[in-house]
Structure 1
Amino acid sequence: MTDQQKAPDAANVSGLGKTQHGNSSEAQRRRLLDRLRIGPISTLDARRELDILMPATRIFELRARGQRIDTIRIDQHTECGKRHNVALYVLQSDAVPPMSCLEITQRLRSSTQPQGASDG
């Protein structure tokens, strides 16, 4: 992979919502698709990082336009520590072998639980 083909680093991910202005459906779809090309994103993260209040609607529209996007249900903690069952959206690409749901779930479990939080 050349430097030009590399995905933006994590510092640039949060900037997607700021660099692609507008609250139109088209602008939101563009932001969301750009972010999905970097990697999976959850409902809560799409709201917070991309300023998309109804990510499920934008996903529905992207699918209607031919994008292959999988949905995986995950538990994710909000910033105030409450656990919610939310959607994790994964863009499937012919260029990259798709991750299995198990792989994604295992990665997220290790990265989304706040330190010191318990399920009990």
Structure 2
Amino acid sequence: MKPGRFRSIVTAGLQFRSRQALLASLLARDTPPNTAAIAVLKEMGSIGDRNDILHSVVGGSKAGVWFNRRKTGPNKFTSKIEKYDASRLMMLVLKCSTLASDLMAALDVSADDYKRFFQESHNAVNSDVAP
């Protein structure tokens, strides 16, 4: 990734779908070179199981783990136990990891670029904080 292309956008209050839509919108401004990245974002959005790991209550036993998948909406709450054995959990982690790597490659972001961006962002935020 070329220097200066990284910009920080505060998304702390946004859920995944909103962050995904924001990034896709920015990438669509220069579609031809970003077609692969937009496709990866769409595939990421199609993984329903990712919320199990990120937002669910987890439990487990020797046989595996389970996540209490919950959905909320206007005047609605549902809950469903999703069971994961080692194989299902590893496949989900591998799929998410592969997509993250694919997105970095599509955007020409190296692991060093990624680390440097977060270190610089961390330092910038913390330099303005009063002791």
Could you say which structure has the higher helix fraction? 2
Q: TM-score, normalised by structure 1?
A: 0.29
